[in-house]
Chain A
C-alpha cells in the first residue's frame, strides 16, 4: 500500500480536552500500582500524565494505514510537575506519518503529539506517541 495522504492534516488539532482537577486519590491509586513513591506530598509521579483520557484517541480523519495498530513507543518531555488540584488541558495533533520497510515487510507509523498544560498555562509535558500499522 503506497503511503498517500493529505499532508495538511499534519499539525492540525484533533482533540482538545480539559480534564477534571487532579485528586490525591487518583495519584495514590496510580503510584501504588507500580510501587512508585511520590517525591513530595501533593506531587504526582512524572508518568501520571499518561493517565489523562482524551476524548479522541485517534483523529477522525486519519488516513488508512493498515488494519492492526500497535503502540510502538513513546517520548515524553516533562515540564512543571503535576500537583493535586491542577486542572490540566491537553491538545493533540498528528505530528508525523511515515513508512519504513524492514525484514518483516512494510510498516507505517503515525506520531500523535499531545501537549499538556496546567491552569497557569505552564507546560506540563509534550508526549509523542508512535503507533505502528501493518
Chain B
C-alpha cells in the first residue's frame, strides 16, 4: 500500500492559488480574525498610519499558505508554519500563492515533507515568504493535485 508520501518527490510544485483579494474580503478576514487595526479596514485609516492604503494582514497570508497546503496535499496536517512579511500585500492586486517540496523525511512522528512557500505579485516580487512542515496522510486514498 502506498500513500501520498511515495508519490511526491523533492521539487514537487504545489497547485498555485491565483487570486485578487478584495477590500471587502480583507475587512471580513480582519473582523473574523479579531484584528482591529484600521490599516486592515480602509485606505483612509491606513494612510493615517503612514501606509499607502489598506493592507492585507500577515495572518491572512499565512491562512492562504494553509489553504494552499490543504488543497495541494489532501489529508495533510501542518506541524509548523512560518512566514516573513517582506512587503505589504494590498487588496485589489493579483497575487500568486505557491510552494514547492524541498525535503522529505520518514520519521517516528510520521511521513513529513518540508515546503518553501511564497506570496508574490504579477511581477514576481516576493511579498511574503514562508516554510511549512506537514505530515502527510497515510494510505492510498490521498492524491496530490498537480499544478
Residues in A lying within 8 Å of B, measured CB to CB: 26, 29-30, 32-37, 39, 45-47, 50-53, 68, 70-78, 81
Partner of A47, one of B75, B79, B81: B81
Chain B residues with CB under 8 Å of A45's CB are 63, 66-67, 70
Q: A17 to chain B: closest CB distance in Å?
A: 12
Contact yes or no, A73 B85, CB < 8 A = yes
Chain B residues with CB under 8 Å of A73's CB are 58, 82-85
Report the number of A-B residue pairs with Cβ-Cβ less than 8 Å: 85
In the complex, which of the residues A32, A33, A36, A74 has the most CB atoms of chain B within 10 Å of its own CB atom?
A33
Q: B50 to chain A: closest CB distance in Å?
A: 7
Partner of A77, one of B50, B57, B80, B85: B80
Secondary structure of the A contact surface, majority rule: mixed
CA distance A75 to B66 in the complex (A): 13
Residues in B lying within 8 Å of A, measured CB to CB: 25, 28-29, 32-34, 50, 57-60, 62-64, 66-67, 70, 75, 77-85
Contact yes or no, B32 A30, CB < 8 A = yes
Top 3 nearest A-B pairs (CB, nearest first) are A33-B29, A53-B34, A75-B82
Partner of A51, one of B25, B34, B64, B82: B34
Contact yes or no, A34 B82, CB < 8 A = no
Contact yes or no, A78 B62, CB < 8 A = no
Q: Which residue of B lies closest to A132 (CB)?
A: B85
In the complex, which of the residues B32, B64, B77, B82 has the most CB atoms of chain A within 10 Å of its own CB atom?
B32
Task: Using A46-B78, A73-B58, A75-B82 as known contacts, say yes or no to A34 and B70 having CB atoms under 8 A apart.
Answer: no
Chain A residues with CB under 8 Å of B75's CB are 39
Chain B residues with CB under 8 Å of A36's CB are 63, 66-67, 70
Contact yes or no, A47 B80, CB < 8 A = no
Q: B69 to chain A: closest CB distance in Å?
A: 9
